[in-house]
Amino acid sequence: MNRQKRQAAAAAALLLAALACNLPEGTGTPELDATALAGTLSVVQTTMAAPTFTPTPSRTPIPTFPSSTQRPTVVIATLCWLGPGPAYEVSSSVSAGLQVDLLGRDFAGEWWIIRGPIYHDPCWVMRNTLQIDPSFNTSSLPIYTAPPTPTPTPTDTPTLTPTP
């Protein structure tokens, strides 16, 4: 608080010195001069007030995946995997008749990557499960590389103990 008072006093002194150099001589109305000085000091005190910080809430962006303008229809109810096929974990199921966002394809064009209908993350379905408009150029879709296949957890194998 002391620092603010000193800053305000220094600013007022500088202002008074500047005004003394620029005041017209012989105005003859001390009330006008006092009013101008009081108004100036009021402005100085107002501008010298400590700034206040108001935090603004920030939003965490939700990751998005680019989708094509194509929204194919699922023609066969299917599972949606985390990679191309049953070697991967199932992400969700997709009902026949549902329109989905097409995100990409695999290199061979046998698997389509769609935005999963439940968790909205990319998942893989077989090509024959979607009906895509024949005029749509699927070669322009991003090509997804299959993630590494999950490593199976080893299980204990029983050993035979010879009997005497």
Q: Is residue 156 domain-resident? A: no
Same domain membership, residue 84 and residue 131: yes
Q: Is residue 155 domain-resident? A: no
Domains held by the chain: number: 2
- pTM (two decimals): 0.52
Q: Is residue 55 domain-resident? A: no
Question: pLDDT band for position 138 (50/70/90)?
Answer: confident
Q: Is residue 68 domain-resident? A: no
pLDDT of residue 114: 95
Q: Is residue 151 domain-resident? A: no
Would the pLDDT of 158 be above 60? Answer: yes
| Strand boundaries in the chain, DSSP class E | 73-74, 78-81, 90-94, 102-105, 111-115, 122-126, 130-131
Which tens digits make up the pLDDT trace of 22-65? 545 555 555 555 555 555 555 545 555 555 555 555 454 444 54
Q: Is residue 92 domain-resident? A: yes
Same domain membership, residue 79 and residue 43: no
Would the pLDDT of 119 be above 80? Answer: yes
Question: pLDDT band for position 70 (50/70/90)?
Answer: confident
Give Cβ neighbours of residue 102 (< 8 Å, ≥ 6 apart).
67, 68, 70, 71, 72, 112, 113, 114, 130, 132, 141
Q: Which domain holds residue 40?
A: 2-23+34-47
Same domain membership, residue 43 and residue 93: no
Euclidean distance between CA atoms 147 and 87, whole angstroms: 11
Euclidean distance between CA atoms 14 and 151, whole angstroms: 76
Same domain membership, residue 122 and residue 82: yes
Same domain membership, residue 77 and residue 41: no
Same domain membership, residue 78 and residue 135: yes
CATH code for the domain of 104: 2.30.30.40
Same domain membership, residue 135 and residue 78: yes
Same domain membership, residue 99 and residue 136: yes
Q: Is residue 19 domain-resident? A: yes
Same domain membership, residue 133 and residue 96: yes
Q: Is residue 63 domain-resident? A: no
